């Protein structure tokens, strides 16, 4: 396969960026998208040019680092996968592929396609945890949890924090990410003592990071590589309003 790549190049958050065209020739259909970029970078390095900067780590769809906007869609044309799981057989010979970073105030560009997503870390640190007393680890079956609830909590916990929900949203909202992190604890007994403090703290931090509001278009759910459900957003909203109600009655 011979492809034309239009890649966003930007030296830093303050610099003006632009799309730069590159040729990717003799690309194997069995390559992953990131492997294709590796080959392009090898060619750039041999020429003495600056390679394309992009984030990656596990390359197994687990870490959420490989956050690229490909032909206008987060993680590319396939559903339920990350960029590192996207293979070049999803494209055709002589295609033009436009590759851009996430576009959001909360995700400033570091360089080229790499963005600073530490805003998600700060949201997690604001309340995405439970406080427990030190001591021996309790047996797993001490607190019985219905399987339906356990499964739903697990499905929420599969969020890898890649930020595709933010990139897909016209408002750059982080509601799907935050609601998944809220829900994975709100559904379980261990998360109940701090349930309402947690949701208020995490939503406040989300707003402070500059993410937009949710208008329920569903784009976040459609583009999420782990197919996190927007029912989490409804659950988080209920908890948030309940927390505000309790606070007003104090």
Q: Is the pTM of this model over 0.85?
A: yes
CA distance 119 to 117: 5
3-state secondary structure of 56: coil
The pLDDT tens digits of the residues spanning 14-52 come to 999 999 999 999 999 999 999 999 999 999 999 999 999
Would you state the structure tokens that stand for residue 179, as one six-digit string? 């609601």
Q: Provide φ and ψ at 124, rounded to 5°.
A: -60, -45
The pLDDT tens digits of the residues spanning 146-160 come to 999 999 999 999 999
Percent of the chain with pLDDT over 70: 98
Q: Which helix (H) or strand (E) holds 44?
A: helix 33-46
CA distance 90 to 97: 11
pLDDT band per the 50, 70, 90 thresholds, residue 192: very high
In the predicted model, is pLDDT for residue 168 greater than 70?
yes
CA angle (109, 233, 237) in 5-degree steps: 115
Q: What is the pLDDT of residue 152?
A: 96
3-state secondary structure of 111: strand
The pLDDT tens digits of the residues spanning 69-117 come to 999 999 999 999 999 999 999 999 999 999 999 999 999 999 999 999 9
* Domains of the chain, start order: 3-110 (3.10.20.30), 118-249 (1.10.1060.10)
In the predicted model, is pLDDT for residue 246 greater than 90?
no
Q: Provide φ and ψ at 52, rounded to 5°.
A: -75, 125
Q: Phi-psi bin for 227: left (phi > 0), alpha (psi -120 to 50), beta? A: left
Would you state the structure tokens that stand for residue 127, as one six-digit string? 């309340």
Look over the chain and give the mean of its residue pLDDT values, rounded to a whole number.
94
Average of per-residue pLDDT across 171-185: 97
Q: What is the pLDDT of residue 248?
A: 55
Q: How much is the CA Rg of the chain, to the nearest whole Å?
A: 20
199 exposed, middle or buried (CB, 10 Å; 0-12, 13-18, 19+)?
Answer: buried
């Amino acid at each position: 396969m011979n492809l034309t790549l239009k890649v966003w190049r930007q030296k830093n958050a303050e610099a003006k960026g632009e799309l730069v065209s590159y040729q990717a020739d003799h690309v194997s259909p069995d390559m992953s998208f990131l492997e294709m970029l590796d080959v392009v970078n090898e060619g750039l390095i041999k020429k003495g040019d600056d390679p394309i900067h992009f984030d990656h780590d596990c390359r197994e769809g687990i870490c959420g680092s490989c956050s690229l906007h490909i032909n206008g869609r987060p993680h590319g044309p396939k559903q339920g996968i990350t960029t590192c799981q996207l293979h070049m057989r999803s494209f055709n010979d002589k295609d033009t592929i436009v590759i851009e970073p996430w576009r959001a105030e909360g995700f400033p560009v570091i360089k080229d396609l790499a963005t600073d997503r530490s805003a998600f870390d700060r949201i997690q640190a604001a309340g995405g945890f439970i406080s427990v007393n030190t001591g021996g680890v309790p047996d797993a079956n001490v607190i019985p949890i219905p399987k339906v609830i356990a499964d739903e909590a697990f499905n929420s916990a599969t969020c890898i924090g890649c930020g595709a929900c933010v990139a897909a949203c016209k408002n750059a909202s982080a509601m799907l990410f935050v609601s998944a992190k809220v829900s994975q604890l709100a559904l379980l007994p261990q998360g109940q003592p701090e349930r309402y403090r947690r949701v208020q703290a995490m939503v406040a931090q989300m707003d402070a990071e500059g993410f937009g509001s949710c208008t329920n278009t569903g784009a976040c759910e459609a583009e999420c590589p782990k197919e996190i459900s927007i029912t989490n957003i409804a659950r988080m909203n209920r908890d948030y309003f309940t927390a505000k109600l309790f606070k007003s009655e104090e």
